Chain A
Amino acid sequence: MPKLIFRLFFSFVVFVSLFIIVQRFLKPDSFGKYGHYRANSIEDNQISTLYYKGEEKCTSCHQDVYDLKYADLHSEVSCESCHPPKIDANTECEVMPPIIKGSIEFCGQCHTFNKGRVKKGVPQLELNDHYKGENCIDCHNPHAPWELKK
């Protein structure tokens, strides 16, 4: 084989071999176990701070509120729907209790009239016309909305 071709071929083989060696060492270990991805990433994705605790955790202290809510129309609405957690699920609520102001703007998220919301089981009204300017919770108990204070 002419020297030229031999040298070129040899360089090519060396290069490919070096490439394969580097690839074997740099490829992550769990790669390819379940598919073309790093299998350990599945576990990585399972590790993330939990914020929402679920109603069961709420009832461990607030069973009375839950019972009240259960008897009225907001029974289908979970506690954290209106009281989003401010801290992660492992910390106690007393640290930063999620208090809601019950303003028109807040309750309006569900109850402001919108043609796209009619006949879905959620009472709709023009909140600004309804007892103008007051907060909803001034009259309505948020956990038992048909229990009016006035």
Chain B
Amino acid sequence: MGTKKIKTNRRNFFQTSAALIGGSILYSILKPIDSISQSIEEETKDEIVNLPLWGMGIDLHKCVGCGKCAEACKLENNVPREPFYFRTWVEQYTVKKDGDVVIESPNGGIGGLKQSVPIEDIFKSFMVPKLCNHCSKAPCVQACPVGATYLSPDGVVLVDDTYCIGCSYCIQACPYGARFMNPVTHVADKCTFCYHRITKGLQPACVEVCPTDARIFGNLKDKKSDLVKFLQKNPTQVLKPHLNTKSKVFYNGLSSEVK
């Protein structure tokens, strides 16, 4: 007799808890659904179609390696001044007459790149500014385990400071060495195309200060933009094309020695 009552009580317990759990699941499923209505979905699509697609062109025939871009970037974006953290930097390649290639970027080029190889040994030399390539198929975005880095609808790869857990997987995944771990915020950090400037119609800081107009920023969708004209006029290349990252930084005059 007693066991029957226990069995009924147990059955009631299970039924009640199943109902509660089922109800909670149902509620939690419905909660987001009723805030998403059809019109919002259409709106999002429209938004994306009208958005620009940001890219950058770099004319290596013009870069003189003054390093002002790297310096301006650090100032504009509060990057630590120590020589270990760069959102953008300039490299100097010196091809010697014996075939060796010397690559240098002391302090990212800030303060101006200085020639270290004696002039009589130099075959040719050139400067290459580097930055995040904002790849359309970014391996860093693919690698992030939580979704803290992403490709924005207007083509900029950004980091969510409040969400990044600091695992450094994206830094390992970037083939261009564009990312670093910010020692102050302890999250992954990198060039954002000065997103806070370009979304207000301004140019990125590096483009703003370049004295020779070696950096050209613009909307890849705008046929009248300087960037598109630059791409049309010059044979441009991207870095490490064999990795198929669909980089959106295009170099004119990229020599085969460039890594």
Contact = CB atoms under 8 A, between A and B. Distances in A.
Interface of A: 10, 14, 17-18, 20-21, 24-25, 28, 31, 33-38, 41-42, 44-52, 54, 76-78, 80-81, 84-85, 105, 108-110, 112-117, 120-122
B115 A114 contact: yes
Interface residues of B, number: 68
Contacts of A114: 64-65, 92, 113-115, 125
Q: Is the interface of B mostly helix, strand, loop or mixed?
A: mixed
B12 interface: no
Interface of B: 14, 17, 21-22, 24-25, 28-29, 31-32, 44, 48, 61-68, 71-72, 75-78, 92-94, 111-115, 119, 122, 124-127, 147-153, 158-163, 192, 195-197, 199-200, 202-203, 205, 208-213
A37 B211 CA distance: 37
Of A35, A114, A121, most buried by chain B (CB within 10 Å of CB) is A114
B28 A24 contact: yes
Contacts, number: 160
Contact of B211 (A31, A76, A115): A76
A51 B113 CA distance: 24
A49 to B, nearest CB: 8
Given A34-B44, A80-B72, A14 B64 contact: no
B160 A37 contact: yes
B205 A109 contact: no
B125 A116 contact: yes
A122 B150 contact: no
Given A116-B115, A121-B212, A38 B28 contact: no
11 contacts: A17-B21, A35-B151, A41-B150, A41-B158, A42-B153, A54-B202, A80-B209, A109-B112, A115-B119, A120-B61, A120-B64
